Structure 1
Amino acid sequence: MIRQWDALVVGAGPAGLRAASVIAEAGLEVVLVDEQAGPGGQIYRHVTAPGAQGRFPDPADFRDGTAAVRRFERSGAHYLSESTVWFLEPGRALVSRGDETLDLRARNLIVAAGAMERPVPFRGWTLPGVMTAGAADILLKTADVAPQAPVALAGSGPLLYLAASHLIKRGVPLAAVLDQTPPRNVLRALPHLPAGLLGLPLLLRGASMMLATLRGAPVHRNVGRIEARGEGHVEEIVFTAGKETRNVRASTLLYHGGVIPRTHMASALGLDQRWDARQQCWTVASDALGRTSREGVYVAGDCARVRGAAVAALTGELAGLAVAERQGALGTRESRRRQRLLLRTLAVQTASKIFLDAWFSPRPDLYAVPDDVVVCRCENVRAADIREAVAEGLEEVNEVKLRTRAGMGNCQGRTCGPALAAIVAAAARRPLPDVGRLSVRAPLRPVPLEALRRLLEKK
């Protein structure tokens, strides 16, 4: 017998935890599905695991994450850890969990899949020793594993300095920080500074991280083209700073291209999306309560629009209240009262993000990838192959995908999709949103045939 839930929440980060907690506290039956072994998402990953407090570089993150998980545990929500969602439609999810294949049905669906680091290909990005700054930061706070020193960090965005300051705090030698933020971004951000000051604690925290980095490592600004070199492992980073070519010796390169919404599930669900010209990424169209273009489907947190953990938690609670009201578990008057309080806080939090979005918008030449660089690692597709397809008359990403197989591998375009679209747009001389988005179909993750067989046996 298939069980019908009042709500299904995908993702156990700040947004998913808060949404599931609110729904369960209203007396409804909710199930939270997540790939990780414990709740917390990326920012609070394994926050309640033994010894977590000593591994978390920021006490505030440990405090906030622990509070969110404890509230969720008290709420009575059902939790499915180490569970992979590979099929999703309104009201239904197919999930692999160990040897089980679960067919979950729900009257409401909340997608809280979080964000991802923007993948940026460059020469040498496939060398051992090259990884993302976010991945290295997760290893540091979950397993107390530091990258091989000396370490170079490159890219743009607050997380670049967050990761650098965490490594410095742990005593890891840094060879350099290569900041790719265009200098003109600061001028573009200045008109938004008054709004940015509404989030003064966040700005002060960012300033503290930058100061710690400046004290602990050489910082090169206005960095352009980056190349990792080495025989079997990264040994040297070559880059441009202004008009000058420089190099640093390093055993590890941590790259961060910024953070963008993880919209794979939204695309599979056919949700309306909007192009964010400032951050050069797709966002999910939704109202203040997370309601999307499909009835009974909500989005919460950074998978809709990247605004950080605090905002993600607020949007999760708002989506949870909307579901509780829709199911009649919470009266309209009480629901609206709680929504008003949250929306006022949300307005202040999001106003400050305009300043940061302007400051850390991607540089225009971010995807000026040399022809010989592999863009799609799964299918070994080079930038030259993509440009050749455009020269043949193909100007839409799914057409180029069919011609080159870029985006057809195990990651289904998660790693190469943004670069593929940018290279197609540049080669075709078209605005980036005009070349479209990769089509996403089930299975959303690689799934063994045995899982399909087990599903068929249940029918």
Structure 2
Amino acid sequence: MGDAIAFRFEGRTLTARPGQSVTAALLAQGVVAHRTARDGTRRGPLCGIGACHECLLEIDGRLSQRGCMTAVRAGMEVRRAGALPDAGAAAPLGNMPDAIGVERCDVLVVGGGPAGIVAARLMAAGGLDVLLVDERHGPGGQYFKQDAVGTRPPDAQARDGRDAIAALKDSGARIWTDTLVWGAFREGVELRVGVLRRGRVGYVIPRHVVIATGAQEAPRPRPGWTLPGVMTTGAAQTMLRAYDSPLPGRIVIAGNGPLNLQLADELAKRGAAVAALVEAAPPPWTRPALAARLTAAGPSLAATGGRHLSRLRVAGVPVLWSSRLVRIEGAGQAQAAIVAGPDGRERRLDAETVCLGDGFVPANELARLLGCRHHVSGWPVPHPEAGRTADGGTDRADVSIIGEAGRFGGAAIAQAQGALCAGRLLALFGKTVPVAAGRAARRRFRQGRRFQDLLWRLYAPVADLPAPADDTILCRCEALSAGGIRQHCARDAVQDIATLKRATRAGMGRCQGRFCQAALAALVPAPTGEMDFAAPQMPLRPIPLAALAVEKPEWRGHRRVDIPSALAGQGAVPLVSAGVQVTDVVVIGGGIVGLFAALFLAQAGRRVVVLERGRPGALASGGNAGSLHAQLMAFDDSAGADGPSLPARTLALQRDSIRMWQSMAPFFDRDLEIRICGGLAVAESEADMARLRAKVAVEQSLGVASRMVDSRELRAIEPALGAGFLGGAHCAEEGKINPMAATLAVMARAREAGVAIRPLTPVTAITRETNGFRIVAGGQAWSAGAVVNAAGAYAGEIAGLVGRRLPVFGAPLQMIVTEPVAPLVGSLLAHASRHLTLKQAANGTLLIGGGWSAGLDAVHRHPRPVRESLEGNLWVARRLIPALGNVHVVRSWAAMNIDIDGAPILGESPDVPGFYNAVTANGVTLAPAMGRGVADMVLGTGRRADLDIFSPLRFQGGSA
């Protein structure tokens, strides 16, 4: 062991061993609290693998550094992370690259655990160009983790890992450690995988990718599980085996499975004060026949388990079988574990460290991002599980999944799968395949599967946790309690995880739901397929914004996509399962425009049914960035030869709509986070200034409160702006809103008014009748006197059902969100000649959008961000606000917007009486006014001549 390393922690000088992580060094010094959560409570490390982000620290002025993934360096300055750190005072996370490098290989192996090591070694030895990437400082994974500080002789498990890693290095495979895979893109025939290596983003273009990302633990929520001192069993084992870091105080290990037994034995051998091992399964000797079969299937592994138990008995560590840890108590950190025995009686165990080992689920976000087919598994908690063959093959020809990235099964199965996958890919690429090695791997795979099946039958829990109490935190990132989430579910009639996320923000934090999704799934109807779970979003883990920011050419006009037909697979004569239901109005589309129309119609006494092909509010309405636009976008044409353009003539409606939002806000059942903060478009050239002057002149002529500002006033309004901006245009009427809260609030009001909202009910036929229309959707039929077409991107297809043409095209757009920081931006920011909207939400996150095009997922055909748009959008944002170079991007997503002619379509089809259209690309801003306008048209009241310009009559030929 080398000399101790000195570093500073909040003004104190501490020491660490060379090779230790910052978290390990702090735990060794008794520092268990690393960060402050948004609810003001302290948090400490949980997972030990960089997935939970509870170990965030400020290191050398850089925000949100994962302590468990950062090696201690001499002289580093470490501080606890605040809930809302000051990005303006922070140190940069890196420089913006001029270009992003690209690496090619035959096979990219993601993950350097047992499965990845074997697969990469055999493929490289067989003549393939193999690149293995792993997020940790060295290969080995959780099972083969190596001693980073070199203080103790390795045991058999570590020696096996050492030998496997040495063979990998000798095979010729390239190995990139400290490399995070943050995303993947299908671009034509190429698969491009995004990586972050040593602070720099790059792309790998493989001919095939092997996903060997392993598993992550799935700790069950309990009261007190967010207290510092509570961590997973795997995290505790990493502290012990990789960093030789003792865990503070008395230790309770609880959950289900043999890893807990191994940890208890290892801790006891090191002299740790293990207060108890709490196991949910009954003792194995109560089922001797099953235990005997397990021993026969894996004699050495069974004997190892027996030795663990014997040594715990000698050490005096009690094993509490058929028991559950029901809560953790403590003031500021763990102090006691409360355990319920098989009879339900509780006992209190003093404990400063509590290790939770409730089971594992696959780390499958990359596999899901790449479109691999998954099904629902309920063990140990509900989660998506990949469909794959024994040799790792999936339904994606260029993707394999091996080891615990597909299903938890232990190191032996993982290594066997690695060998089988290597053989298949060597054959695929025309290389020699060792037949005997393949037969041996299949034999080991079958033996491993049999052993694992028997093991988990023996370890089947007989004790379970009660449903989380109302004050139990379910979503750690957002500090959301079970009671609060249940209230949202009841209020908003939540039936799926995606809607639950929009209603509560649960699962939207840094961990992207990895540690709460199973608990959330228990609050809604049981998932039946992969799409019932929250979709993975890029970056898969937070990355520095600056690392991905690269200038891209600007563009004019939306990029249209061919959206999947809502009518695909429908027969010529749709089946109807029941009689025709009679109503006054059918609104097609459960977005915010359709919901407002339905609300106003119901308030006027009409019977209204809303038919939505998906989940209400789940598409554009729930997926946009929430700008309230009162001025022209800087890149819109402001005037034409015949006067103001259509976008300019829409400004009056936008301003009316914003005022409606403000006046209605007090009557909703939640805070919509409406803020009229002002909009600011900045200029960095004389051409930009001229563009803005022309824009402001048109706006002022139409009554918009916009004006030009010089560079000094620009900086007074937004001090965080970068240097070099000459001036800008300011509109005092612009603002922002929380679109998720707003959509759900309107939906709740609509239901209260009597609107019947039918989700998952796609319209398949509309026929004209004497007194109106017959609408068929979801195997049911309605008769209505009027139809409102508010189907967004599908409005053209819906119009086609009545024989009309409506020029509406799908044009998906992306949004990006950063980690939350202290107030940095007050206005709704835009650029005079580049696509950008930038604003700060009430929770401190910065939302970045502005019209950068997204695409469609190659498999599911859902909107998904594209690489060049992510890079270009972030470059513009960072150019405006340099402090964004000090923060991380947490998430990006895409939503289906529409491309029409720059103005909404609002009005009755001239030759289809009773068929009304309410379609806009600016739905959140215009929703109240659009809903009010179309409702008045249906009701025949309050005709407004100023809305005639938005009629479908404006399209050539008068078609509607």
Normalised to the residue count of structure 1, the TM-score between the two structures is 0.90
Alignment partner, residue 128 of structure 2: 28
Question: Contact 2:322/2:463 (CA < 8 Å) preserved in 1?
Answer: no
Shift of 1:359: 2.6
| Partner SS for 1:143 | coil
Q: 1:284-303 deviations in whole A, cap 9, x for unaligned? A: 21111101111110011111
1:285 alignment partner AA: G
Question: Contact 2:233/2:263 (CA < 8 Å) preserved in 1?
Answer: yes
2:486 alignment partner AA: R
Alignment partner, residue 149 of structure 1: 249
Which of 543, 567, 574 is the matching residue for 1:447?
A: 543
- Whether 2:371 is the aligned partner of 1:275: answer no
Shift of 1:247: 0.6
Name the CA shift for 1:308/1:144 in 2 (closer, same or farther; >3 Å): same
Which of 402, 410, 426 is the matching residue for 2:510?
A: 410
1:154 alignment partner AA: A
Cα distance in structure 2, aligned partners of 1:435 and 1:314: 30
Name which of structure 1's ranges 115-124 and 335-344 shifts more when overlaid on structure 2: 335-344
Q: 1:126-178 deviations in whole A, cap 9, x for unaligned? A: 11111112111111111111111211111111111111000001011111222
Shift of 1:365: 3.7
Cα distance in structure 1, aligned partners of 2:425 and 2:120: 10
Cα distance in structure 2, aligned partners of 1:324 and 1:71: 18
Task: Map 1:200-239 onto structure 2 (within 5 A).
Answer: 200-216=299-315, 217-224=317-324, 226-239=326-339
| Partner SS for 2:266 | helix
Shift of 1:20: 0.8
Q: Provide the aligned C-alpha RMSD in A.
A: 2.6
Alignment partner, residue 327 of structure 1: 429
1:227 alignment partner AA: R
- Whether 2:354 is the aligned partner of 1:253: answer yes
Cα distance in structure 2, aligned partners of 1:399 and 1:185: 46
- Whether 2:268 is the aligned partner of 1:175: answer no
Which of 291, 301, 305 is the matching residue for 2:407?
A: 305
Question: Contact 1:227/1:237 (CA < 8 Å) preserved in 2?
Answer: yes
Question: Contact 2:412/2:444 (CA < 8 Å) preserved in 1?
Answer: no
Cα distance in structure 2, aligned partners of 1:259 and 1:76: 32
Q: 1:331-361 deviations in whole A, cap 9, x for unaligned? A: xxx4554322210121112111111122334
Name which of structure 1's ranges 274-283 and 286-295 shifts more when overlaid on structure 2: 274-283
Shift of 1:4: 2.3
| Partner SS for 2:124 | helix
Cα distance in structure 1, aligned partners of 2:244 and 2:476: 29
Name the CA shift for 1:191/1:213 in 2 (closer, same or farther; >3 Å): closer
Name which of structure 1's ranges 276-285 and 100-109 shifts more when overlaid on structure 2: 276-285
Alignment partner, residue 41 of structure 1: 141
Cα distance in structure 1, aligned partners of 2:551 and 2:346: 57
Cα distance in structure 1, aligned partners of 2:338 and 2:529: 32
| Partner SS for 1:32 | strand
Name the CA shift for 1:335/1:396 in 2 (closer, same or farther; >3 Å): farther
Cα distance in structure 2, aligned partners of 1:230 and 1:27: 57
Question: Contact 2:284/2:291 (CA < 8 Å) preserved in 1?
Answer: no
Name which of structure 1's ranges 280-289 and 100-109 shifts more when overlaid on structure 2: 280-289
Shift of 1:62: 1.6
1:104 alignment partner AA: V
| Partner SS for 1:2 | strand
Cα distance in structure 1, aligned partners of 2:294 and 2:464: 28
Is the helix fraction higher in 1 or 2?
Answer: 1
Cα distance in structure 2, aligned partners of 1:251 and 1:192: 34
- Whether 2:166 is the aligned partner of 1:77: answer no
Shift of 1:278: 4.8
Q: 1:17-68 deviations in whole A, cap 9, x for unaligned? A: 1111111111111111111111111112235x562652x4xx2212210111
Question: Contact 1:196/1:356 (CA < 8 Å) preserved in 2?
Answer: no
Name the CA shift for 1:327/1:258 in 2 (closer, same or farther; >3 Å): same
Alignment partner, residue 67 of structure 1: 163
Unaligned runs of 5+ in 2: 1-100, 554-866, 869-960
Task: Map 1:383-402 onto structure 2 (within 5 A).
Answer: 383-391=482-490, 392-402=492-502
Alignment partner, residue 114 of structure 1: 214
1:338 alignment partner AA: A
Question: Contact 1:9/1:33 (CA < 8 Å) preserved in 2?
Answer: yes
Name the CA shift for 1:363/1:170 in 2 (closer, same or farther; >3 Å): same
Cα distance in structure 2, aligned partners of 1:282 and 1:210: 34
1:66 alignment partner AA: R
Which of 315, 328, 343 is the matching residue for 2:442?
A: 343
1:116 alignment partner AA: Q
Which of 438, 451, 456 is the matching residue for 1:352?
A: 451
Cα distance in structure 1, aligned partners of 2:132 and 2:230: 33
- Whether 2:366 is the aligned partner of 1:265: answer yes
Alignment partner, residue 438 of structure 1: 534
Name the CA shift for 1:419/1:182 in 2 (closer, same or farther; >3 Å): farther
Shift of 1:74: 0.3
Question: Contact 2:527/2:533 (CA < 8 Å) preserved in 1?
Answer: no
Alignment partner, residue 416 of structure 2: 314
Shift of 1:219: 2.1
Shift of 1:279: 3.5
Cα distance in structure 2, aligned partners of 1:27 and 1:92: 22
| Partner SS for 1:134 | helix
Alignment partner, residue 397 of structure 2: 295
Name which of structure 1's ranges 364-373 and 141-150 shifts more when overlaid on structure 2: 364-373
Cα distance in structure 1, aligned partners of 2:513 and 2:466: 16
Question: Contact 1:119/1:419 (CA < 8 Å) preserved in 2?
Answer: no
Alignment partner, residue 470 of structure 2: 371
| Partner SS for 2:543 | coil
Name which of structure 1's ranges 15-24 and 316-325 shifts more when overlaid on structure 2: 316-325
Name which of structure 1's ranges 83-92 and 106-115 shifts more when overlaid on structure 2: 83-92
Name the CA shift for 1:127/1:414 in 2 (closer, same or farther; >3 Å): same
2:375 alignment partner AA: R
2:394 alignment partner AA: T
Cα distance in structure 1, aligned partners of 2:311 and 2:466: 30
Cα distance in structure 2, aligned partners of 1:435 and 1:3: 32
Instruction: Mark the structure with the bigger radius of gyration.
Output: 2
Question: Contact 1:162/1:209 (CA < 8 Å) preserved in 2?
Answer: yes
Unaligned runs of 5+ in 1: none
Normalised to the residue count of structure 2, the TM-score between the two structures is 0.44
Question: Contact 1:176/1:218 (CA < 8 Å) preserved in 2?
Answer: yes
Shift of 1:190: 5.3
Cα distance in structure 1, aligned partners of 2:102 and 2:378: 43
Name the CA shift for 1:138/1:260 in 2 (closer, same or farther; >3 Å): same
